[in-house]
Amino acid sequence: MTPPFSEYMEWAKTRSQARFNLASSGVEAFALAELPVRLEDLEITGPSFYGWPPLQERLARKAGVEPDRVMAATGTSMANFLVLAAVASAGDEVLVEEPTYTLLVDAARWLGLEVRRFPRRAGDAFRVDPEEVERALTPRTRLVVLTNLHNPSSAFVPADDLRRIGAAAREAGARVLVDEVYLESLAVLGRKADSAVHLGPEFVVTSSLTKAYGLSGLRCGWAVADAELVRRMWRLNDLFGVVPAHPAERLSVIALDHLDRVAARARRLLETNRAVANRFLAGRAELECAPVDGGTIAFPRLRRGTVESLCERLRARYETTVVPGRFFGAEDHFRLSLGCAPATLEGGLERLARALDEAS
Ligand SMILES: Cc1ncc(COP(=O)(O)O)c(C=O)c1O
């Protein structure tokens, strides 16, 4: 099948499952039983039309904006889709980082947008070079799209670089979408994780509770933008569902009210895994990867042999999966989870080491 379907998403849903699944990108699932939920806190149907006010309030407080600048959405996925659809129309140009989370490109193409790319180079630690963005902008560009932290590498984009990109976009009459779903994992580690939305009116950000907190099933995502764009996205969202699943909204409010507890568990897991993964990556001469500083994923380059055959061997002999770099247009790389259960990471890395030994 050709686009508009997402080859990556089908692979992720049907082929990434394994005993040692190192292909996931978020923190291991947080269990409902760990949240103080009482049956009387839940209800099936409620007054949520353009947002359920208690959820809107919490998301706005978290983002540091007024509620009319926040739109609750079905995951970062829907938030991204709505931003693309509300900002650009068929035939418009969007400028998307490469490599990136491929769904951003797949969704843009499905909307009939012309997708141009700007590079984030492995040799430059996947940094965003604002000059590359400036050069690639044209009068037809409606939106610049990037991820921070970067999927697949976890590279951090500093505020100064974002400001330069914002200024260039504004001059070109474009906006900047920053998908911050992995930025939350810096916040979890207690590090500075300021959202780009405060850098200027041209910025639109999206995020969710999925990756850093292990709360994927809540589908608690959001977009933050100027109030007018938010209104437009609410109206667009009418096309996809009358109202959200209200029990999920209620559970999201409970999770947001106890986010410290959820974050504490994620912090322990990420700190343990980061140390283990960095030790492993530094000790394998056939892999090239800057030490991971934060985030839930790493993106090493395989210096010898092909990633496809490594992935085959891992799956066939070692019950282990990683994400092949071809999904990111980087065939000599693969993506590795730092968010899985520590025992899964240790077991998977042990098997990865054996598969690498066999190849050499
Ligand atoms: C950059 C990025 N954005 C969005 C998503 C989807 O997030 P959500 O589960 O919040 O829809 C992913 C999932 O892998 C992602 O990597």
Give the Å distance between the CA of 285 and the centre of ligand 1. Answer: 31
What's the angle, vertex CA 212, arms to CA 311 and CA 13, rounded to 5? 40
Cβ pair 136, 176 in contact under 8 A: no
Residues 277-319 pLDDT 10s: 999 999 999 999 999 999 999 999 999 999 999 999 999 999 9
Paired residues of 117 in beta bridges: 96
Residue 101 Cβ contacting ligand 1 at under 6 Å? yes
Assess whether the C-beta atom of 208 lies below 6 angstroms from ligand 1: yes
Using the predicted structure, report yes or no on whether residue 273 has a pLDDT greater than 90.
yes
For residue 77, which atom of ligand 1 is closest to its CA? 11
**How remote is the CA of residue 283 from the centroid of ligand 1, in Å?**
30
Beta strands in 99-217 (DSSP E): 114-119, 141-147, 175-179, 203-208
Q: What is the mean pLDDT of residues 184-189?
A: 95
Ligand 1 pocket, residue 77 CB under 6 Å = yes
* CA distances in angstroms from 271 to 190, 263, 266, 328, 342, listed in the order given: 11, 12, 8, 26, 10
Q: Does the reported pTM lie above 0.85?
A: yes
Query: Could you tell me if the CB of 151 is within 6 A of ligand 1?
Result: yes
| Ligand 1 atom at minimal distance to the Cα of residue 12 | 14
Which has the closest alpha carbon to 348: 282, 265, 283, 273?
273
Report how far residue 218's alpha carbon sits from residue 76's, in angstroms, rounded to the nearest whole number. 11
Ligand 1 centre to CA of 7 (Å) is: 15
- In this prediction, residue 174 carries a pLDDT of 98
pLDDT digits (tens, 9 = 90+) for 232-271: 999 999 999 899 999 999 999 999 999 999 999 999 999 9
Task: Give the number of the atom of ligand 1 that is nearest the alpha carbon of residue 25.
Answer: 14
Q: Is 210 in the pocket of ligand 1 (CB under 6 A)?
A: yes
**pLDDT band for position 2 (50/70/90)?**
low
Contact 112, 66 (CB under 8 A): no
Mean pLDDT estimate for the chain: 96
